[in-house]
Amino acid sequence: MSTEAGTGVKRREFLKILGATGATTAVVGCSSEKVGKLIPYVASPDNTVPGVSQYYATTCRECATACGVMAEVRDGRPIKLDGNPDHPMSRGAICSVGLSAVQGLYNPDRYRTPMVREGNALKATTWDKAYELLAQKIGEVKSRTQASNVVFVNQHESGTFPGFLDQWLSAQGMPTHLSVDSAAPIATIASNQKAYGASWPALDFNAAKLVISFGADFLDGWGHSVPQQLEWADARAKLEGAPRLVYVGARRSLTGLNADQWIAAKPGSEMDICAALTGSAAMAAASDASGVPVATLEALAKAIATAGSGVMAISGVTTANAVDCGVMVAEINKKAGAVGVTIKPAAGHAGYNGLASYADLAGAVAKMAAGTVPLAFVRGANPAYTMPKSAGFAAAFAKVPFKVSFSSVPDETAQLCDLILPDNHWLESWGDAVTMQGQIGLQQPTLEPVFDTKATADVLIALAKKDQALAAKYTAADYRGWFIGQFPGGASAFTTALTKATISGSPLIATATRTLTATATPVDAGAGDYFVHVFPSPTLGDGRGANKPWLQELPDPVTKIAWQSWVEVHPTTFKKLGLVEGQHLTVETSAGKITAPAYRYMGVRPDTVAISLGLGHTAYGRFAQNVGVNAYDLVKSGWDASGTLALSGTKGKVTVLAETSQLVTTEGSARQHGRGIGQAMTLAALLGQEAEDGEHEEHAIPGLPSQDFKAGLKSPIAADAQGELANPNAKDLGMYAPDHVQKMEKRRWAMTIDLARCTGCSACVTACYSENNIPTVGAPYQGRALSPTVWDERPGANIIKGREMAWIRLERYYEGNENTENEFSPDFDTRFVPMMCQHCGNAPCEPVCPVYATYHSPDGLNVQVYNRCVGTRYCSNNCPYKVRYFNWFGYGEVNRKQYAWPEPMHWALNPDVTVRGKGVMEKCTFCVQRIREAEHRAKAEGREVKPDEFTTACSQACPSRAIIFGDAADENWTVAKLAYDRRAYHVFEELNTYTAVVYLKKVNYPAPASPAQA
């Protein structure tokens, strides 16, 4: 038979390829035409060793917090971000939003060149032509003496650039810019300014005994999420003396689910409760307004009195009276003597200074609508999406003769502009940011620009140089040169400071202060039977994260829904309306309406429906466009005395439709059914003051092996699985004998997860995606063929089929409130359980694999050999933890339609980890690549691996420090000590799988018994 026939590799060509020398190689495919060349460095760049990572300290700019991060750079490209352990705020932690920044850097839908409008379309142009056009337009505006009417809208940021921008605008005769952030808690900032004289006081959870959150979702993205979560987890980890958390609001958010008590008040009634707690109103009046029993309010007032100066009351309500409510909440702190103890105005965060309000932006839009704005600039912000339709932004913006966007992505606002000057990503840029009071975080580029983009500051300098009147003021070649020229100590001091990227000081140019005040617009109470509660997404925020597939695929921590909008409805209302899961509801307010599937959630009041922001983009790239609905359409364009847009509190109509959609959810059952997966105990039980509740059902079966906790993560021996039938005199320890050649008793890689610390934020999930090249599978183009001519383009279609690929599943279970369909009760407990491969010592997956693709390593790992796997999936069937994931399609194969990393997103792939192909099973590896790297480094240095020398990606990222990894066979590692904790348990320990993951029980701080709420 001829070897020349067909499309296979010809024998002669094969030998030619095989014998090739140098850098020639055969690449994927069966044809010799797919031969490519790998070109090595002739001379490596300074400090670069091929295959060895470098780490650069910089400052995250995904939100106003400005956490310190370390960028891991491999061969000139950043592949992962981690928290900077030397940074005083982030202390080595990072959130999902920060981790996903590399997907913004390598986003395939970024503008690759400047764009100019020709007719009805934006066309690519050169930077020289773009500069010439914009310089001409600026000159025309100035010649007509209209420069004072120019509007520059900039995404809010701290640091030197805002002052630099205002200096440039002033030199052009233009007014200062508007610094906007639709996700910022403006009402809280305004009330803080009034009550404390500071925009954002420091919150000392460690000094608190009682924390009362009035809608302040400090674990969801309200304020400065990472440092708040770190400090909250540290405070709760004290166990005895830890603060209790009471959450007041109509919807139980992620922060609310972490609370010890939920007081389910009607939207807008939080201020009435505050008035009662401060003694300025009667308890009965507050009860009538809020629907909360008088006894519950009196118990809270008593708890405040008992806590004294250990009270911390914070407000994050988003109703029309939010500022007044925030000031009233501050009165609780003042009366308790908590200011300076738990609330510290002098040690706060300055990142919100200079922030403009929604009313300021609406004022600029009104000028546009009046036709008085000759030129408008927009950078970073996306008001065409984040302003309610009732604001009329698009129509007003169309009246501006020339509109310029510095957006790097094709968002809704950029699509309306006449000239696009794409900005560099912050990982490509120089800059700085304010972190804490008196602290500055430095920002440095981690690579050359991926596309033909330029930093906005460089563009401003280049434009100034074209103006003879301004050229003398801007002599530096670029912003970096200007910045170093202003930096105290010059270039040498700047270079030294970059090693840690944090210094003491203040921005080189002070940001203009702005007082958040406005003339309030009339309150629109709305009409309908239900309060409409609109809230920012914990993952997508105000929508700016929607073009990053890691964030789209990260299930909402409360509902476990991804790639989809939903309407939260209480089970009693669900029953009353005759709904089925996923049935479409139309929610209508005086501002507009949206339609989305219904989700049954007992953490929302029966008279309230809740909808998340972040979805419903009409542009913004392939991962965001036409996914979900935009909940801003339900919001009326009005504001309170601080200029804040009221997101919730109005009433609306709910209409049930006949259509249904399957929910894109990773949730199995919301209940544990007595299986003891997420266990908890009260503080009194921990201290031995009361008996521990036996939540986990025990089963007495004759001959069953002991179900007692296996302290020390011992490796199993044959007798362990035989229970009472085992020979007590047996000496055979098999591979675990001390003298066995494998030396399996010498090392046991293991993990502890403290459920008292875990908040369910899911940063661990995103860190795992980033470290281990896990594909996202929910984008519309990644669906499946329903027939030869029909493609399933539903967002999340693969997840609906149960084909998600996340190696860590953040499970969320409810305990209590079993009769939720027939009555409303706020009293239920929530358990968050990160579930990954348990690396069982007696693993059920190993003996059933017919090709030995999964086996047990000498150091206690359950190993998966990808190129041996043939996809029988027997291992997944036999896994009681359901933590194995199968590649149903070629998500990792570049020639497949479902390829998860469209160019240049594949630049973020970790070279140390194999990208899996179709038909391969995969799972958590305990980041084996990090284990081997640490071992090889120690061997090269002639030493043993040091205790706690390294950790897994999930542990490194975790903002609550709930996950600890290490060697359980060495008592010097932290994990070995925690394995003996009083709260330690294994999931399904009755199966005698001898898991390497130990969970520490959650500790609850129950409130005194109180009557059910109205």
Residues 140-195 have pLDDT tens digits of: 999 999 999 999 999 999 999 999 999 999 999 999 999 999 999 999 999 999 99
Same domain, 290 and 361: no
Comparing 886 with 784, which gets the higher pLDDT?
Answer: 886
Question: Is there a single domain that holds both residue 341 and residue 433?
Answer: no
Report which of residues 757 and 702 the model is more confident about: 757
Neighbouring CB atoms inside 10 A of 945's CB total 19
**Does residue 3 register a pLDDT over 50?**
no
Q: Is residue 866 part of a domain?
A: yes
**Who contacts 106 (Cβ-Cβ below 8 Å, separation ≥6)?**
450, 904, 905, 906, 907, 908
**Mean pLDDT confidence for 54-69:** 94
Asked if residue 465 and residue 559 are part of one domain, the reply reads: no
The reply to whether 913 and 871 lie within a common domain is yes
**Position 867 in a domain:** yes
> Span 244-265, mean pLDDT?
96
* More confident site: 33 or 97: 97
The number of residues making up the chain comes to 1014
pLDDT band at 741 (very low <50, low <70, confident <90, very high): low
Confidence of residue 27 (pLDDT cuts 50, 70, 90): very low
179 and 193 together in one domain: no
Looking at the DSSP assignment, which residues form a beta bridge with residue 404? 377, 419
Average pLDDT, the chain: 89
Q: Are 315 and 395 members of one domain? A: no
Q: Identify the domain containing residue 399 by its residue range.
A: 115-183+354-504
- Name the residue with tokens 């764009």: 115
Residue 101 lies in a domain: no
Instruction: Give me the mean pLDDT over the 941-950 stretch.
Output: 95
CA 873 remoteness from chain centre: 32
Closest of 679, 675, 997, 678 to residue 838, by C-alpha: 997
* pLDDT value at 303 more than 50: yes
Question: Which burial class, exposed, middle or buried, applies to 65 when counting CB atoms under 10 A from its CB (0-12, 13-18, 19+)?
Answer: buried
Rounded-to-integer distance, Cα 313 and Cα 329, Å = 6
Among 287, 314, 347, give the residue marking a domain's end: 347
State the pLDDT at residue 731: 45
Query: How much is the pLDDT for 1012?
Result: 43
**64 DSSP β-pair partners:** none
Beta bridge partners of 72: 55, 80
Domain identity same for 433 and 444: yes
176 and 288 part of one domain:
no
329 and 454 inside one domain: no
pLDDT of 416 reads: 97
Q: How far is 769 from 813, CA to CA, in rounded Å?
A: 23
The pLDDT value given to residue 626: 95
Contact partners, residue 288, CB within 8 Å, separation at least 6: none
Count how many Cα atoms sit within 13 Å of the Cα of residue 114 in the half-sphere of its side chain.
19
Domain containing residue 607: CATH number: 2.40.40.20
CATH at residue 419: 3.40.50.740
pLDDT over threshold 50, residue 625: yes
pLDDT of residue 32: 44
Return the structure tokens found at 453.
């983009």
Question: Nearest 10 degrees: CA dihedral of 391, 393, 395, 401?
Answer: 140
Residues 237 and 301 reside in one and the same domain: yes
Specify the number of domains making up the chain. Answer: 4
Q: Look at residue 65 and tell me if it is in a domain.
A: no
Q: Is 243 exposed, middle or buried (0-12, 13-18, 19+ CB in 10 A)?
A: buried
Task: Count other C-beta atoms under 10 Å from residue 791's C-beta.
Answer: 15
Instruction: Verify that 725 and 795 share a domain, yes or no.
Output: yes
- The C-alpha atoms of residue 243 and residue 142 are separated, in whole angstroms, by 59
Q: Which residues contact 190 (CB under 8 A, 6 or more apart)?
A: 323, 326, 357, 516, 517, 641, 642, 643, 644
Given this model, what pLDDT does residue 641 score? 83
Residues 614 and 479 in one domain: no
Tell me if 788 is assigned to some domain. Answer: yes
Name the one residue in this structure whose structure tokens are 């007082």.
Answer: 515
Q: Is residue 202 part of a domain?
A: yes
Q: What is the pLDDT of residues 688-735, one digit of tens each?
A: 877 766 655 555 555 545 545 444 455 454 444 455 555 555 544 455
pLDDT band at 859 (very low <50, low <70, confident <90, very high): confident
Closest CA to 648 of 587, 727, 714: 587
Q: Which of 712-716, 844-848, 859-863, 931-935 has the lowest mean pLDDT?
A: 712-716
Can you give the pLDDT at residue 726? 54
> Could you say which of 504, 539, 561 is where a domain stops?
504
pLDDT of residue 437: 80
Dihedral sign for Cα atoms in the order 162, 167, 171, 177: positive
Domain boundary among 323, 347, 371: 347
How far is residue 706 CA from its own chain's centroid? 41
38, pLDDT greater than 70: no
- The pLDDT of residue 16 is 47
Tell me the pLDDT band of 2, cut-offs 50, 70 and 90: very low
- Max CA pair span of the chain: 100
Between residues 517 and 45, the one the model is more confident about: 517
Q: What angle do CA 663, 666, 669 make, to 5 degrees?
A: 95
Q: 218 in a domain, yes or no?
A: yes
Q: How confident is the model at residue 642 (pLDDT cuts 50, 70, 90)?
A: confident
82 within domain boundaries: no
CATH number of the domain to which 735 belongs: 3.30.70.20
